[in-house]
Structure 1
Amino acid sequence: MFVEEVVRRQAGVISRAQARTGGMSDDQVDRRIADRHWRLVHRGVFLVRDRDFGAEARIRAAALVEITVPRTSGMRRGRGVRVRRRDLPAVDRVAMRGLALTDVPLTVLEAAVALGGVDRA
């Protein structure tokens, strides 16, 4: 039941770690991949076959790989998850379906920097 609830809540996306927490073995996860019930979208992150990899699923999958938390957060790095610690002003944050996200201007700027299109100032 846990795995199905996670998949429903996360737009069809689930991580291997979440599946393990839900009681699945690595063999069971690997079987779902081999049978094409799940497909790999990021290292250790999967999309259920009957779900579209739309905007919400993409964002949720990315959040299972890299997250930004306030500097004072006690959150620890999970396996396969990159944790960035920084404080963001309210103008740079938005919420979408229960997810806290960076707003479009900051996201575009950071993507441009990451892709080498902008020098870091």
Structure 2
Amino acid sequence: MRYMMIIHHDDEAMAKAPQRELWAEYAAFNEALNKAGEGFSGGLRLSPSKESTVVRSHAGKTDVLDGPYADTREQLAGYFFIDVPGIEQAVEWANRCPSSKHGAIEIRPIVEPKAG
């Protein structure tokens, strides 16, 4: 089953984390995913939430908001796609993700297109 692991973390907490160690952990995590052959299909880090732009359209009016939309400490920070037998394996990979120590990893099943 294919899942998206959505990384949410506190930008300030991540900035305080020892960066060299954090990125070494991510390199090891990426290598482990690749070696596991679990259908790893890439992941990307996003720029900080303060650099985001949110667009909403309602009743013919467009609203543009700079900066994070959600008024929370944890913001969307990046993602990975994995293909594993089930949710248990997805949870194991999410737990191994270095950002799980600095926020949360949301796991969502991918809705596969119907054949035909």
TM-score (norm 2): 0.25
TM-score (norm 1): 0.24
| Larger RCO: 1 or 2 (CA < 8 Å, sep 6+) | 2
Which of the pair is proportionally richer in strand?
Answer: 2
